[in-house]
Amino acid sequence: MIPRYTRQEMGHVWSDGNKLAKWLEVELAATETLAEAGQVPKDAAATIRARAKIEVTRIHELEARVKHDVIAFTMAVGESIADPAAARWLHYGMTSNDVVDTAQALQIRDASKLIERALVTFGEILDLRAHQFRYTPQIGRTHGIHAEPITFGLKIANWFAENQRNIARFRDAAAQMAVGKISGAVGTGSHLGPEMEERICKHLGLSVAPVASQVIQRDRHAQYLSALALIAATLEKIALEIRHLQRTEVREAEEPFSGEQRGSSAMPHKRNPVTCEQICGLARLVRTNMLAAFENVGLWHERDISHSSVERVILPDSTILVDYMLSKMTAVIGQMRVFPERMMRNLESTHGLVYSGQLLQDLVEKGMSRDDAYKAVQENAMAAWESDTSFHDRVSNDARIAKYLDSKALAHTFDLQRQLRYVDAIFDRVFGAHPAGEKFAAGSAGKH
């Protein structure tokens, strides 16, 4: 992944130096475990531990000659040991993918810790802002058209709940990836045996794949990339919503805009949602990588190499991108400007049309047939919409409706707080019951 999207900690996880260090970690764990079992001389294992070094440049030089990265690695490490009698026990009983797949599990474990930490932090910001705007009225939109009132806090609560599901899915997928294999060229364990395999993996803090071919089966990787793609999809969904809310005609919320930031080289007035647009674009890459992971599941017989080149791209790139996207979206949500007054103005801009559904229900409840009620409400709604006049005034003067609902009943129909009376109950389901007496006045969040 290009440096533009690579944060330092995640970049280190996927650096050549760290990858090769993980390979060495697997080799050392194997040698020491075998030494404990009496299968490798203990003095050889101690020498390997003391002297084995990673020299990235030398490994690359050797790989250019031998055309095999693991062989180049073992040759270079063997040189660093500088003791042929000890070095001959390096990589004893192992095949290349015993090292590569097991070390990859260690890298993914480290990458997953960073992503899980970022997901939890993102959830905390969503929790904070959802409660901040719990009672801030906003018009809900379906098909992009005004529907019925919601609160901005409820919108964010939806994002929070989805993020919680992402955390659960990601933890499960990361656990599925935290497995190693030291079972040889076709998975039979014929050189070291299942007991040594389990002990080596335990030494590394990994579970052992119960059965493998020459490689750990790639359905695990497909699940992991799917979890990353779902995280990216959630971030895209939130970013897309903010982009819509930032449109000039809407302007209910906007992503942060720093003091010296400039939006356009030609139009100084521009404040564009560039970070949210960036997130929407990067989500496409993560989704595409998920498809490649699914293509990797089917390999020839006990293994071919077609998956390897793909994973050199999709695993680093996807974790790097999701890490970057989570960081960016956490900052956007945390510093997002919100305009409750504009939200209320937009809600009221259709002069009460957003209460048509409640009016229909109230008329039916009072005894009017549903079809007659629908016709009466729709006729008044269409007329109010076309003429940009008060829907409330029109239905108040419609004899068909007045027969069932007097002015007091209509005031109840057009009561905003009635529409929002279950906000606390929904919040309790999402966040847990709030403390007794905790309350905010509707719309009190002000401008942020």
pLDDT digits (tens, 9 = 90+) for 74-84: 999 999 999 99
Residue 337 pairs with which residues in a beta bridge?
254
Q: Say what percent of the chain tops pLDDT 90.
A: 91
Max CA-CA distance within the chain?
103
Does residue 436 surpass a pLDDT of 60?
Answer: no
For residue 139, which phi and psi values (nearest 5 degrees)? -80, 130
Pick from 265, 238, 266: nearest CA to 253 = 238
Residue 316's pLDDT is 97
204, two tokens = 């590394």
More confident residue, 311 or 437: 311
Q: How far apart are CA 157 and CA 138, in angstroms?
A: 14
Sequence-distant (6+) residues with CB within 8 A of 287 are: 229, 232, 233
Distances (CA, A) of 385 to 73, 150, 248, 374, 397: 73, 21, 22, 16, 16
pLDDT at 256: 86
Summarize pLDDT for 300-330 with one digit per residue, the tens: 999 999 999 999 999 999 999 999 999 999 9
Q: What is the pLDDT of residue 435?
A: 57
- Kindly state the percentage of the chain with pLDDT values over 70: 96
Place of tokens 């209460």: 355
pLDDT of residue 434: 62
pLDDT in tens, 19-37: 999 999 999 999 999 999 9
Give me the helices (H) in 178-273, please.
193-203, 219-246
pLDDT score of 334: 97
Helix/strand/coil for 307: helix
Single out the catalytic residue among 143, 258, 265, 309.
143
Least confident range from 98-102, 262-266, 332-336, 383-387: namely 262-266
Catalytic site residue 143?
Answer: yes
Angstrom distance (rounded) from CA 137 to CA 441: 11
Computed over every residue of the chain, the mean pLDDT equals 94
pLDDT computed for residue 218 by the predictor: 95
Is pLDDT of 442 > 80? no
pLDDT at 441 over 70: no
Q: Which of the residues 12, 190, 264, 387 is marked catalytic?
A: 264
The answer, yes or no, to whether residue 409 has pLDDT greater than 50, is yes
Tokens of 30: 């194997």
CA proximity to 413, closest of 377, 374, 375, 361: 361
Res. 271 pLDDT band, cuts 50 70 90 = confident
Predicted local confidence at residue 336, as pLDDT = 96
Q: Does the annotation mark 434 as catalytic? A: no
Contact yes or no for 55/95 (Cβ under 8 A): no
- pLDDT tens per residue across span 205-250: 999 999 999 999 999 999 999 999 999 999 999 999 999 999 999 9
Please say if the pLDDT value at position 351 is more than 70.
Answer: yes
Does the structure show a pLDDT above 70 at 379? yes
**What pTM does this model have?**
0.92
Return the pLDDT at 445: 42
**Dist. CA 377–CA 95, nearest whole Å:** 75
Closest CA to 376 of 393, 357, 360: 360
DSSP three-state, residue 440: coil
- Label residue 440 by pLDDT band (50, 70, 90): very low
